[in-house]
Amino acid sequence: MNYINNRSYDLVVFDWDGTLLDSTGAIVKAIQAASRDIGVTPPSDEKARYVIGMGLREALMHAVPELPASHYDDLVNAYRKHYLSGDHELTLFEGVEGLLQALQAEHRWIAVATGKSRLGLDRALGHSGLGRYFDTTRTADETRSKPHPQMLEEIMNQFAVDPARTLMIGDTTHDLQMAQNAGAHGLGITHGAHPVAALKDCQPVGLVDSISDLANWMKISG
């Protein structure tokens, strides 16, 4: 795989869950527990992991497709109860803050594009203390769910950055497909929700296994 020069990127956009925050396992458990709460068979780990990165309602409709449409509000509320009961205990992947500091020092635009809600992302930024590093953020309830390109297009337009100078970093095929749909470059990170083979199928400009590998890929120390 040919990696292109990282210095061509003026805008670096991160997914949140499974990319910066080690939350994949907690999300899977919350989806499964919420399903049991409302009396439906919980999805497998694989099926629950697949929907991570989508907007919450869309994700749950994919994970539990047999549920009558009128019951999804109950499932959403049950999921939030389980996830929010422990989200304050989740941790960032090692090296995240150092990477963001390095990117900020290089005067790049830094953003988040996430399937979380605005309330959920603001809560996560508050817990993590990372809000000061991001020039802007977009959430699924403000735009369209991944892999639709709207949230990434809005970020690029906000800073007048060409798609060719934009890097979208994420742990799911939804992230990489959104980058493709927006004409931007996608970089996969393998420590999150989706398997390596699926990420490779999206033809990213690169794949890294960790935040430290990402820092090395971008030629940034720490």
Q: Which residues are catalytic?
A: 15, 17
Enumerate residues 6+ apart whose C-beta is below 8 A from 133.
Answer: 97, 100, 101, 103, 104, 110
Give me 27's structure tokens: 């999300």
8 A C-beta contact, residue 196 and residue 190: yes
10 Å Cβ neighbour count for 92? Answer: 18
